[in-house]
Amino acid sequence: MSIKSFVKSFSIYGLIPIFGKFISILLLPLYTRLLSPSDYGAQDILVQLAIFLTFLINLEMYSGVGRYFYERINIVDKKKLISTGLWLTIVFSLIVISLALLFNDSIYKIFFETDVYRIAFYLTILWAPISALYTYFLVVMRYEKKPKLYFVLTNVQLMIRILSTVLFVAVFKLGVTGVILGHIAGETSSVLMFGFVLRKYFGLYLSKIDLKAILGFSLPLVPAVLIISFQKPLIRYLVVNYLSIVELGYYTIAIQIAGILSFVQFGLKMSWQPHLFELLQNDHYESEVRKIYNLFLGIAGLVCFLIITNGRLLLQILTTPSYYSAAPIIGFVVMDSLIEIIRQISGCGPAVAKKTQYETYYELCASVVSVLFFLAFYKYIGIIGLAIAFLGGTLIKFVWSWILTRKFTDIRIDALPTCLLLLFLLSISIIYAVINISIVTSIVFSILVGGAYFYVKKSEIFNGCKYINGKISRAIAIKRN
């Protein structure tokens, strides 16, 4: 497995969120006129709650399935492995949703003071098991190595979700309830489509051997997953109680703007671990990891810089004046996404060494740091304190996982370029948070830095374009013959 094959895989899986985010950004002018900042804050709470419940159901079991997928040689063994993981997911779905319904009133009152979002809340509980099955099938489909089919089905799901959301929000005027219904419609369609394609792997199997293998890999990850999934609802609770749901809405809009980076983030997430686990079968895999890291550091860093410098322009184009207060947050939110992207590669040591319990340690430490940062800063800098809180926690995870990778593997990545890039982007984020720099100045600055980057990297860019052109030419030639 070369870096070229990885780039090809990344390109296919990364194109999916490009379409999703592109359409979502195009719809922002519509949504920001139909949903108030408080509505945006409410839907963010409900989405994070759905993610939390989904994590409780999945318990990272799909990671265990993925880790042993290539070690199961024939279709029967793969069927036993995947079916075992599926039945575990179904059982945990029933348990988690039963508990959520039992304590629904107490959970609702933690976040909301009125009953305005009560229906949307119940739908969120219903959405969680659908989301859990969607996530499980999505990961299994990735290991199937059918990227074109994956691309088509995922984009069909995406279009169903977006069109459903527009229908429920813009036509039926259902507000936050419409947003949740859109998610349910999209992911339900995906479960049906992926389930049909993957049906050869489903059966009445609950293999003890596979159960032990899945849980042996996944259970050490569970505390870390629970910490991750609990952290975000906890932070939302603190924001709603110490600041306001309106300011949470500003933060959510900043995340939407920063979502442009999701092309890199989602594509890497879906491509990296399968590629890494297969790469481990080869000697000298470390050099490939370094090449991939440097590639994504440059790409993600440039995109991050462009979003930071043009955040105010994007807000003016895509939203209403009610949301302009989100501008100072954008830089810190985008930096958080950048660090999470490159950490997937630089922090792969625990997964490679099968010592995933260490993820629990740094996730716990990061969560504590995030909460403490927020409590320390919110009185002085308001909602910016939330962005800084998450950034501080993410930095803890990044440094710790980097150290573990050096300890458990022979992967050696030069730290100096990363440190210089992060310091540069942090400085730019602070400047844009405190100074209202004109849009013209920002555009000129973006062009100069972007031009310098392309000049320095011109040989790599030329080789990449040449590689893509060659692939296209060969595909056309094969089609003609």
Of 197, 218, 242, which residue is a domain's last? Answer: 242
Q: What is the pLDDT of residue 149?
A: 86
Range of the domain at 131: 35-242
Q: What is the pLDDT of residue 192?
A: 96
Q: What is the pLDDT of residue 49?
A: 94
On whether residue 166 sits in a domain, the answer given is yes
Confidence tier at 187 by pLDDT (50, 70, 90): very high
Looking at the structure of the chain, the number of domains it has is 2
For 205-235, write each residue's pLDDT tens digit.
Answer: 888 888 888 888 877 777 767 777 787 788 8
pLDDT at 268 over 70: no
Q: Give yes or no: residues 220 and 326 share one domain.
A: no
Task: Pick from 65-69, 189-193, 317-321, 365-369 the range whose average pLDDT is largest.
Answer: 189-193
On whether residue 453 sits in a domain, the answer given is no
Within 8 A by CB and 6+ apart from 437, the residues are: 312, 431
On whether residue 480 sits in a domain, the answer given is no
Q: Give yes or no: residues 224 and 247 share one domain.
A: no
On whether residue 261 sits in a domain, the answer given is yes
Taking Cα atoms as reference points, which of 394, 431, 402, 86 lies closest to residue 265? 394
Q: Which residue has the tokens 């879906």?
A: 270
On whether residue 23 sits in a domain, the answer given is no
Q: What is the pLDDT of residue 185?
A: 96
Q: What is the pLDDT of residue 359?
A: 82
Q: What is the pLDDT of residue 154?
A: 85
Question: 49-63, 284-298, 332-346: which range is least confident on average?
Answer: 284-298
Q: What is the pLDDT of residue 32?
A: 86
Taking Cα atoms as reference points, which of 70, 67, 65, 179 lies closest to residue 117? 179
For 63-97, write each residue's pLDDT tens digit.
Answer: 788 778 878 888 888 899 999 999 999 999 999 99
Q: What integer is the mean pLDDT of 121-149? A: 90
Within 8 A by CB and 6+ apart from 458, the residues are: none
Q: Give yes or no: residues 4 and 47 share one domain.
A: no
Q: Give yes or no: residues 290 and 430 share one domain.
A: yes
Q: Is residue 230 a contact partner of residue 393, using CB atoms and an 8 Å limit?
A: no
Q: What percent of the chain has pLDDT over 70?
A: 86
Q: Give yes or no: residues 256 and 226 share one domain.
A: no
Q: Is residue 232 a contact partner of residue 51, using CB atoms and an 8 Å limit?
A: yes
Q: Give yes or no: residues 188 and 281 share one domain.
A: no
Q: Give yes or no: residues 263 and 396 share one domain.
A: yes
On whether residue 471 sits in a domain, the answer given is no
Q: Give yes or no: residues 257 and 287 share one domain.
A: yes
- How far apart are the C-alpha atoms of 476 and 26, rounded to whole Å? 32
Of 242, 259, 277, which residue is a domain's last? Answer: 242
Q: What integer is the mean pLDDT of 453-477? A: 64
On whether residue 103 sits in a domain, the answer given is yes
Q: Give yes or no: residues 192 and 261 share one domain.
A: no
Count of other CB atoms within 10 angstroms of residue 37: 24
Q: Give yes or no: residues 286 and 403 share one domain.
A: yes
On whether residue 92 sits in a domain, the answer given is yes
Q: Is residue 333 a contact partner of residue 255, using CB atoms and an 8 Å limit?
A: yes
Of 437, 454, 472, which residue is a domain's last? Answer: 437
Q: Give yes or no: residues 399 and 347 share one domain.
A: yes
Q: Give yes or no: residues 228 and 301 share one domain.
A: no
Mean pLDDT estimate for the chain: 85
